């Protein structure tokens, strides 16, 4: 069972020698950690594709997927992003940075596009989706701020799915909030796309020799505090 060997011998692991998709989710989540230093190596495109496909398949409220994910691999751009993200070293050391960005507002047009998409995929008439459309419009009759907060939460769900996918592919990842959202949005020209950044996922390979955190035990709240099991 390679997965058990892996989780006990964190530091000697060699990504290229590992046959993927053999670890259970628990082994994978134990193996992963918030990687603070990466070694600059590139992720095989097929594995990046798997992570993106998992994110694509993540559910969202009303099925709306009110966000986009910006995929940055260009080293010069990663270095520029680093300057608005507290100079965190893993950004340019990553193979790819996924920037989750939620819809700034939920427009009529965006709901319309979603309805058209359902009609197309399920081969039904748009008319038959009128009730659904009205329900979505009614549920999202909130202020732009409230809707953005809702959309932002959906990006965290997708982030959770993406980071499990990365861990199961033996790709290191770091979820990151520590950046200047306004400046980052400017760098990536997100306002023109109607998007506002919410959170990053840096993807790459741990630099075990230089990352202090790789040797630290994972800290989690006691199960009896985290879970309340009602009788």
Question: Could you say whether residue 65 binds its own copies (CB under 8 A)?
Answer: yes
35's CB contacts (< 8 A; 6+ apart) are 90, 172, 173, 174, 202, 204, 206, 211, 213, 214
Q: How many residues line the site for its own copies (CB under 8 A)? A: 69
Stretch that binds its own copies, among 8-16, 36-44, 162-170, 203-211 (CB under 8 A): 162-170
Binding residues among 179-198 for its own copies as defined by CB under 8 A: 188, 193, 198
**Could you identify the residue written with the tokens 């990842």?**
173
Stretch that binds its own copies, among 6-14, 38-46, 49-57, 87-95 (CB under 8 A): 49-57
147's CB contacts (< 8 A; 6+ apart) are 66, 103, 105, 106, 140
Q: Which DSSP category does 74 fall into?
A: -
- Tell me how far, at minimum, the Cβ of 30 lies from its own copies, in Å: 7
Q: What is the DSSP string of 146-181?
A: HHHHHHHHHHHHHHHHHHHHHHHTT-EEEEE--S-H
Question: Could you say whether residue 156 binds its own copies (CB under 8 A)?
Answer: yes
User: How distant, in Å, are the alpha carbons of 65, 69, 150, 163, 176 from that of 103?
Assistant: 9, 11, 10, 21, 19
Among 1, 19, 209, 221, binds its own copies (CB under 8 A): 221
Question: Could you say whether residue 212 binds its own copies (CB under 8 A)?
Answer: no
List the one residue out of 170, 178, 227, 179 whose CA is nearest residue 203. Answer: 170
Question: Could you say whether residue 157 binds its own copies (CB under 8 A)?
Answer: yes
Question: Could you say whether residue 159 binds its own copies (CB under 8 A)?
Answer: yes
Question: Could you say whether residue 121 binds its own copies (CB under 8 A)?
Answer: yes
Task: Give me the residues that bind its own copies (CB under 8 A), please.
Answer: 21, 24-26, 29-30, 32, 34, 50, 52-59, 61, 63, 65, 67-74, 77, 114, 117-118, 121-122, 149, 152-154, 156-161, 163-165, 168, 175, 177, 188, 193, 198-199, 216-223, 225-231
């Amino acid at each position: 069972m390679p997965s058990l060997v892996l989780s006990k011998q964190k530091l000697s692991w060699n990504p290229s020698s590992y046959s993927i998709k053999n670890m259970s989710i628990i082994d994978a989540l134990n193996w992963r950690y918030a990687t603070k230093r990466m070694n600059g190596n590139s992720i095989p495109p097929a594995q990046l594709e798997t992570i993106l496909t998992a994110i694509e398949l993540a559910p969202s409220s009303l099925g709306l997927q009110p966000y986009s994910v910006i995929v940055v691999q260009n080293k010069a751009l990663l270095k520029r992003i680093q300057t608005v993200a507290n100079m965190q070293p893993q950004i340019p050391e990553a193979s790819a940075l996924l920037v989750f960005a939620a819809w700034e507002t939920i427009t009529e047009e965006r709901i319309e596009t979603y309805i058209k998409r359902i009609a197309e995929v399920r081969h039904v008439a748009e008319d038959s989706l009128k009730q659904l459309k009205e329900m979505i419009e009614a549920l999202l009759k909130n202020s732009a701020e409230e809707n953005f907060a809702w959309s932002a939460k959906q990006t965290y769900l997708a982030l959770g799915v993406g980071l499990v996918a990365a861990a199961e592919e033996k790709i290191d990842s770091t979820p990151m909030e520590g950046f200047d959202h306004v400046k980052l949005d400017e760098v990536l020209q997100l306002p023109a796309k109607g998007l506002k950044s919410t959170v990053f996922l840096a993807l790459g390979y741990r630099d075990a020799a230089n990352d202090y955190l790789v040797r630290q035990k994972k800290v989690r709240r006691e199960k009896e505090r985290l879970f309340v099991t009602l009788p």
